[in-house]
Amino acid sequence: MVSGITKPAYPGCYCVRPQLTFAVTFNGRTVISPSRLGLTLEGVAPKSGTLAFQKVSGGKKDAYWQTTLGKNNPVRDCYQELTLQFTNAPTPTGTLILVFRAYNDGIAFRYHLPAANDSGQDFTVTHEDTEFHFASDPTLWAATYEKFTHPYEHEYSRTKLSSLYPSTLVGLPLLMQTDTRAYVALAEADLTDWASLYVKRSINPSGTYALSAQLSPRIDGNGLVHSRLPRNSPWRVLMIGERPGDLIESDLILNLNPPSAIADTSWIKPGKMAWDHWWSGDVKMDNPTEKRFIQFASAMGFPYQLVDWQWYGPFNTPAADITKPARQLNFPELLQFAAERNVRLWVWLHSGDVNRALKVGTLDEAFRVYERWNLAGVKIDFMDRDDQDMVAWYQTVVELAAKHHLMVDFHGAFKPTGLRRTWPNLLTREGVLGNEYNKFSGRVTPEHKLTLPFTRMLVGPMDYTPGGFLNRSPAEWKQTTPTQVMGSRAQELALFVVYESALTCVTDDPENYRGQPGLEFLRVVPTTWDETRVLDGEVGRHIVIARRKGKDWFLGGMTGDDAYRVQIPLSFLGSSGYTAQAFTDPTNPAASYEAVSISSRRMTQSDTLTLTMRPAGGAAVYFKAE
């Protein structure tokens, strides 16, 4: 819809009102009612006359691309595209281009601001006018925030859209149930040198509820996005499915990002790593401690050990030197000890120290040192922002890391938007209320763990750090040192299948693993997959996922506050027979939550697997092809 131009309530800014609108239907049902589109730019005067449609073009694609770091391989990229060009638009050149893509699992659109000539032109975005209108009052699973600076570590609480305060800042991804058979996740993709997207509740002209775009402001106060023509905005994404599990299977976020910028990715190796800090509230950074964890990683067949904070002494200070190990560490000795056991080290870095090195031009040299040390990668922490400058910072760092063959794990991070497709050395990121919160809160509840696959995990891998072996029922759980986790041993094993992360940090101390049932599963479970199928699932209540690696399949089942029994047809298996090793909850309800029943039998695709899970329970099954 196009109509006249009026001056909005932004000093020095002009936009089209009413704006162009879009709507989305799914299986004949409306999931998004007609909703506004547009950007407001600083100092761009209105054009005379009305916004005019100029031309349309279309296209389609159906192709596959290879990845070794995801949940499906190869990945199918299949869509139809529509490009609309308008003139008399409130942009520096008077031209606005809208690009829409329709996939089987959702839709996406973006704004393109073309340049008038090769010299380009600066512009500043002061508001994004995009809205998402609903014909009814959808149910939301939403993470809400008080401000734009935070580490993205919140619960995704269930609520009605009408129950949100208009001032409440809602982060992405956001899951909505708009119909009994329609689930929609709002997200963004290809976030490149642009501000991160949030939404707030608003009311559309018809009196029903809507979500309106909010961009993370620049810290220099210069609007929201300052850039130069020509520019694409990020994709605004609506993942859509009949079941919430359909969204988990989707690769839409990755498909909306550019292909890999790294020609030779053979050095990028996913896998599991031991971790020296989580299990205890104390930090003990010395060679004997690190050697103990390296030895454990080697014995388990893990390729990595994470040397966490304080390895270079006091951090986030002007005097911090990220190339000088702390005095109590003999780093050459550690590197040799690890190499002799086929383990490579990752090191933790505070973002403040990385940023100081970047600004003074020494980060390249620091990464060159790490490459000389044969480090596998860096875990960078405490960014806690997603404004335009910080978004660009992520890409700068991961690109520089790739130059020196370093993999990256971002902590204190905003949600994924698919950057890992372009820079596949970015294996994972946090941005999740994960297992570490068991150290200091009771927030990692069964319901929270059963909500994450349908919310945060929809947009990419999450460094949740599974593997706590001090398993307790929710009623028994206490905040202690060493750290307990809510949920059964079988559920903790299932996390390695249900949660996606190419780099999986195995969280507990070697002493808590010694002689424990379940280690057999941790040795064999992969961290990347060739196929993913969600066999059963209800947000916050239960889930069953099967993932294939080569010819073998792995199944993870989890339940929330209630016991759950489900029969799973094994039709997803290949035509050969399989030896199924199952790690399940004990049948005795009084059994310890650390107890696990282990069984093995031959199964085929004609069989049905019955899973009986206790409250906060689970099941993990390894199907090894014959």
Segment 413-432 shows an average pLDDT of 98
pLDDT of residue 118: 72
> Residues 265, 269, 275, CA angle at the centre, nearest 5°?
145
Segment 354-359 shows an average pLDDT of 97
CB 366 within 8 A of CB 322: yes
Q: Which of 585, 523, 574 is nearest to 552 (CA)?
A: 574
* Lookup: tokens for 281: 């509230």
What is the secondary structure of 3-60 as a DSSP string? Answer: --EE--SSTTEEEESSPPEEEEEETTEEEEEEEE--EEEET-PPPSS--EEEEEEEEE
pLDDT of residue 243: 97
* Per-residue pLDDT band at 9 (split at 50, 70, 90): very low
Segment 495-502 shows an average pLDDT of 98
* Per-residue pLDDT band at 10 (split at 50, 70, 90): very low
To which residue do tokens 């031991």 refer?
274
pLDDT for residue 16 is more than 90 = no
Cβ-based neighbours of 9, under 8 Å, separated by 6 or more? none
Write out pLDDT tens, residues 241-292: 999 999 999 999 999 999 999 999 999 999 999 999 876 666 789 999 999 9
Class of domain 444-626: alpha beta
pLDDT of residue 117: 78
CB 148 within 8 A of CB 47: no
pLDDT for residue 5 is more than 60 = no
- Greatest alpha-carbon pair distance for the chain in Å reads 78
pLDDT for residue 365 is more than 50 = yes
Query: For residue 263, what are the CA distances in angstroms to 221, 421, 425, 427?
Result: 38, 12, 12, 17
Q: Which of 384, 352, 35, 32 is nearest to 196 (CA)?
A: 384
C-alpha of 133 from chain center: 25
Helices (H) and strands (E) in the chain, counts: 12, 39
Q: Indicate the burial class of 288 (C-beta count within 10 angstroms; 0-12, 13-18, 19 or more).
A: exposed
Least confident range of 159-173, 266-280, 324-338: 266-280
pLDDT for residue 171 is more than 50 = yes
pLDDT for residue 466 is more than 80 = yes
Write out pLDDT tens, residues 63-110: 999 998 999 999 999 999 999 999 999 899 999 999 999 999 999 999
Cβ-based neighbours of 387, under 8 Å, separated by 6 or more? 148, 195, 196, 216, 217, 218, 219
CB 290 within 8 A of CB 264: no
For the chain, residues classed under CATH 2.70.98.10 are: 5-255
* Lookup: tokens for 571: 């039709």
d(CA 490, CA 504): 17
Query: Which architecture characterizes domain 261-431 according to CATH?
Result: Alpha-Beta Barrel (3.20)
Query: Which architecture characterizes domain 5-255 according to CATH?
Result: Distorted Sandwich (2.70)
d(CA 46, CA 43): 10
Segment 310-314 shows an average pLDDT of 94
Hey, CA dihedral for 44, 47, 51, 52, is it positive or negative? negative
pLDDT of residue 278: 79
Segment 348-360 shows an average pLDDT of 98
What is the identity of the amino acid at 27?
A: N
| Bigger pLDDT: 68 vs 323 | 323
Write out pLDDT tens, residues 177-234: 999 999 999 999 999 999 999 999 998 777 889 999 999 999 999 999 999 999 999 9
Backbone angles phi, psi at 126, to 5 degrees: -110, -15
Q: Which of 558, 561, 564 is nearest to 543 (CA)?
A: 558
**DSSP E strand boundaries for 147-196:** 157-160, 169-170, 174-179, 182-189
Q: Which of 436, 493, 490, 423 is nearest to 462 (CA)?
A: 436
For the chain, residues classed under CATH 3.20.20.70 are: 261-431, 444-626
pLDDT of residue 206: 77
Regarding beta strands 13-16 and 5-6, do their DSSP bridges make them parallel or antiparallel, or are they unpaired? antiparallel
End-to-end CA distance of the chain: 60
pLDDT for residue 7 is more than 60 = no
pLDDT of residue 44: 83
